[in-house]
Copies of this chain bind each other. A is one copy, B any other.
Amino acid sequence: MGARDRLAELGITLPSVATPAAAYQPYRVTGSLVFTAGQVPVVDGRLPLTGKLGRDLDTEQGIEMARVCGLNLLAIAQEVSGDLDRVRVVKLTVFVASDPSFTEAHLVANGASELLGEVLGDHGVHARSAVGLCVLPKDAPVEVEAVFELVD
């Protein structure tokens, strides 16, 4: 079963690639690698939740927001490849806006990691860093960037 079928089975419709909030592009390709811009959990152009984990949002909400970031990364993967089965995830970096007492950035990050695994199968398995930031642009709760590989 390919990525397209898994998306259908999961009932997921990919969004459009989010328009960057500033002077940059959503992704750049170099050789077989794709470096993406950091994706915040925008849905139809707005952030459904803002604020910091451990203060304004709980871990479950953070996981859901990280999943939306993952969805926005998949939109990039689709656009750059034309075929999600040609995309392998190499690395994610997950920035979690956190109260200094919040020590579960790695659990929040799973929201993105697990979505990529569900949709891309073996190609979704990646290395990852997850860290707690004091604040993100526009008070977003999570920001996720990826390095993808385009495969034949």
Contact = CB atoms under 8 A, between A and B. Distances in A.
Contacts of A95: 129, 131
A95 to B, nearest CB: 5
Interface residues of A, number: 60
Q: How many copies does the complex hold?
A: 3
Contacts of A90: 28, 30, 35
Interface string A9-45: 0000000000011111111101111011110000000
Nearest to A106: B137
A101 B23 contact: no
Given A22-B113, A35-B91, 7 more contacts: A22-B106, A30-B88, A35-B90, A37-B128, A93-B145, A103-B135, A103-B138
